[in-house]
Every structure is written in structure tokens, then in C-alpha cells.
Chains A and B, each alone.
Chain A
Amino acid sequence: MARLRSGASVSAWLLAPASLLLIAGIAVPLCATIWLSLSPNVLVHFDGKGLGNFQYLFKSKYYYGVIIRSLRIAAEATVIALIVAYPVALTLRRMASRRASAVGLAMMLPVLSGPLVVVLGWMILLSDGGPLLAPLTPYIGRLRIVGSETGIIVGIVHFILPFTVISLASVLRLIPENLVEAARSLGATPLEIFRRVLLPLSLPGLLSAAIIGFSLAASSFIAPHYLGGPADVTLTALVAQFVLATFNGEMAAAVAVLLLVLMAAIIFLLSIAAARSVRT
């Protein structure tokens, strides 16, 4: 007689394919990369396994500059995206579900269209003689955006903005409208409603949008590689350089691990802040 199967073992079987995929596709490969990042190579010599590659990255003025630039660019882009996204999310909050979702999907279109369209589009728009800058040249002079840090930031903001808008809007839409009505009936002005009701209630959402925005910004490779100049190398671009130009797998691994550790640390800090901001 068939005994009723226990729910726990069924769950384990159902989770097996996803687990297998994650183990084979991420966990094991990352172990290989960590292993290589601890190994000596043509650039850095030491015996056995050690942190020599990381010491080298931090000691070199050039690579240290790359680390700082990467973090600065990611942070700047995140802050700009949040500031731009918040009013958009406030507007989406008041829209009907259909409408708001359609707008959200429209915003995702450039992300879904991929790097080719975006890189090409920005190259056309931001090039010196392009339709956006050419009319302005008499007033502001020739402006180099493609091939500069500004170009990178424009590209990254463009990429992460849809994600920050959607994550902010989905949190803001959970705030019941009658809370706002209650505040109004008690005499609060729009500014006070924002400051005392909406902002505090959306703080966890703001922090989770920051987490998503920052990790996408720090992960971004297309914008730095195609919209930045030769002097604007970031950690992701550096990984590509070590693999494709100098064929140094160990250093590529070290840069990749360093990037992951830095991202994890910052995401961790933001998560703690997010957890604290939730009042129960």
C-alpha cells in the first residue's frame, strides 16, 4: 500500500533542477575563479596560494584608481537614478494597475532591446556632431560625452532607471490611498504627506531599489566599455582586458573576486539599513 509521501521530500525533488543548475552554472565555476584568484601568475609572483594578487591590485596606483572609479561611478549613477525614479514612482502609484504596468514595461523596452541598440543610440545622440549636441555647440563649446566618465554615467543611469522605478513603484503602490486621505483630512499639505507618510513608508523600498540599482551599476560592462574613454577603465572592463588582451586568467579572477566582495559588502550594508527601516 502506497504510503503518503512526505511533503519535505517532494519539495526537495522539485527544487533539484534549479539547485543543479545553480551549482553547475554558478557555485562550482565561482569556486574555480576564487581558486585561480589566489594563484601566482606572470604579473605577480608568490609561492603556493595567497592574497598576493589582491595586494598587488591595491598597491598599484593605477588599479587602485580603477577600484575607486568603479565604486564612485556606481554610487553616482545609483543616486541619480533614485532621484529621477522617485517622482516617477509617485506618479505610477496613483495609476490603475493596467496603465502603470504598461508604462513599466515600456520603460523596460531599452533593457530588453539590449546593448547594441543602446550603445548605438547614445553614440548617435551624444556624438560631437550629433542631433543633441550640435545645436548647443555655439553656447557650450565642443563637449565630449561619449568617451568620458559622463558618458558612462549616462549609459548606466539609462540602464538601471527602469529597475529602480519598478522596484520603487511596486512598494509605493502597496501604501493604501486612505492613509494619504487620512493625512489630508488631518490637515497635512502635499509636502508634509510626502515627508511624514509616503517617504517613511517607502524607505524599505528605497533601500531595496538602491541595492538593485547599485549591483546592476557595479556589474555594468557595456556602458564603461563602449561609452567610456581609454582612461575610464572600471573593474568589469578590467576583467575583460585581462582575459582578452593580456590573457592573464589569475588576475582576471582576482579582479572578479574583488568586485564580488566589494558588491557583497555594500549590498550587505544596504540590507542592514533596509531591515532596520522596516518598523513592525
Chain B
Amino acid sequence: MKALRGLGIGWLVLVLIFLLGPTLVVLVDSINSATSFPSPFEQATLRWYRALGEHEEFLDAAINSVEIALASSAIATLCAFLGGFALSRRRVRFGHAISTAMLSPLFIPEIVIGLAILQVLGLVALPLSMLTLIVAHAVFVLPMALRLTLSGFSRFDFGLLDAARSLGANPARAMLAVTLPILRPSLIAGFTLSAVFSFVNLPLSMFLTTPRTATLPVVVFAYMESRIDPMIAALATLVVLIAAAATIGVDRFLRIRILD
């Protein structure tokens, strides 16, 4: 038994190395002073980060990406909160079908969602805009927000709402004074992870951006078609830091357990 457990831990470590390896080499290359990419490590430097700060095109795109991420996650989290409340509170007719529908974007390729939105806009002759991107991203992150909300609601005692009402709160106040604060960690976690997923997504935005609304991944991958340099590694490292901050925040401060 003991030996088996040791093997299990060993395997887990190997898998973690496989999963995190690419991220680690990017971190290392982002502070490598060698100018050609990739190349063996020479000297530590921060010059690629400075170069990044002067690259306006990336900066503009990053602002677009942040706007889209915040707006789409806010929409998705609100939809997930209200819908999750309705689905968890009582047996809703077609409840199973509805929650399957809400999780379905998980099973539809992002590139297909992007294509479909592009084509429907083409058919009704509407131009691409920030709103298009926000809707596409909101649909895409809805399952993430919904799953965290539903797991929050699965531990929520709906009897508390009866208690609040017996004490004089109308349904809306009961929602604000009881449901919202208790669900807050799940909602913040859903919002945060959704925002990160939206921020880094490429396939969804690929068909839907215009030069004015281009997101950071779209601009970076376009740049990479012509050249790959350490500046990209610096940018990638910043993205990793954002993702890591979100992950650690969800684990440490919100105490969201993605297992159980």
C-alpha cells in the first residue's frame, strides 16, 4: 500500500511538471538577454518587459481585452446568479434541460460560436462592434460562472430566505441581505475565472474583431505570424502572473474548493 501511494505521488508530480513545464520555460525565456528566440540562457534582464511597455499596439489591445473581460464576466455572473438561484431553489419544469443548455457552450467549439455570430450579423447586416465581442465572450464564460454558482447554491439553505421573510424582508431584500452575501465567494470566483478565460481567449475573437476592437490575443498571434521574440515571452509571463493571481485568490481568499 505504501509503495503504491509513493508511486501515485510520483506520477502526480510528473503530470504537474508536464502541465506546468511550458509555462516555466516561458518565464525563464522572458528574462533571457539573448536576442534570438529561443536560445540558451545567457543573462538575466528586464529589457523585454521595458520593450513591452513601449509597444502601443499591445497596450491598446490589452485595454480592449480588459473591457471585454469585465463586461462579459459581469453579464455571465449575473445570468448565472439569477438562473442558478431559480434552478437550485425548487424543481423547475425542464430544469435539467435548462441547465444543460446553460452549460452547452462548453461543448461547442469556440471557433464555431465566433463563426455563427459573424454569420448572423452578416445576414442581418449589422456591423461588428465591442458589443458583439462582449456577447460572444459572455456566452462562452457562462458555463464557468454557472458551475461555480450552482456549487455555491448546493450548500445554500433556502430556508434562510423563509426566515428572512418571516422577519419582515420582502423577496428582493431577502435576496440582497441574505442570498447575495452568502453566495459572494462563489460569485467573485465565477467572475474572476470567467474574466481570465475571456481575457486570454483567441478562437472566439478571431473572426469578430476589427482593427479598433482587436483583443490582445488576436494582436499577439498576428504579430507572431511574422516573428517570435523574447518580448512575447515577457507578455506571456505577465498573463501567467494574472492567471496565477486569480488562481491563488480563488483558493486562498475565497476558499473555493473546485473538488467537493
Contacts and interface: CB of A to CB of B under 8 A. Distances in A.
Interface in A95-126: 97-98, 100-110, 112-118, 120-125
Contact of B139 (A25, A91, A101, A104): A25
A267 interface: yes
Interface stretch (A16-24, A50-58, A199-207): A16-24
Contact of B15 (A31, A88, A97, A122): A88
A109 B115 contact: no
A90 interface: yes
A67 interface: no
B117 A87 contact: no
A1 interface: no
Main secondary structure, interface of B, reads helix
Contact of B82 (A15, A87, A108, A125): A15
Contacts of B125: none
A101 B239 CA distance: 22
Q: Which of B82, B112, B138, B260 has the most CB of A within 10 A?
A: B112
Which bracket fits the contact residues of A? 35 or more
Interface in B196-242: 196-197, 199-203, 206-207, 217, 220-221, 228, 232-233, 235-236, 239-240
Given A22-B101, A219-B108, A253 B115 contact: yes
A8 interface: yes
Interface in B1-56: 1, 4-5, 7-9, 11-12, 15-16, 18-26, 29, 38
A166 B120 contact: no
Contacts of B102: 18, 22
B19 A114 contact: no
Interface string B142-177: 100010000000000000000000000001000000
B79 A17 contact: yes
Nearest to B89: A11
A161 interface: yes
A186 B86 CA distance: 46
A94 B12 CA distance: 13
Counting chain B CB atoms within 10 Å of each CB, which of A33, A122, A165 scores highest?
A: A33
Interface of A: 7-8, 10-11, 14-15, 17-19, 21-22, 24-26, 28-33, 35-36, 84, 87-88, 90-92, 94, 97-98, 100-110, 112-118, 120-125, 127, 130-131, 158, 161-162, 165-166, 169-170, 173, 190, 212, 215, 218-222, 236, 239-240, 243-244, 249, 252-253, 256, 259-260, 263, 267
Interface of B: 1, 4-5, 7-9, 11-12, 15-16, 18-26, 29, 38, 75-76, 78-80, 82-83, 85-87, 89-90, 92-93, 98, 101-102, 104-113, 115-120, 122-123, 135-136, 138-139, 142, 146, 171, 193, 196-197, 199-203, 206-207, 217, 220-221, 228, 232-233, 235-236, 239-240, 243-244, 246-247, 250-251, 256-260
10 contacts: A21-B79, A97-B260, A106-B19, A114-B217, A114-B243, A117-B22, A118-B22, A124-B22, A170-B260, A256-B116
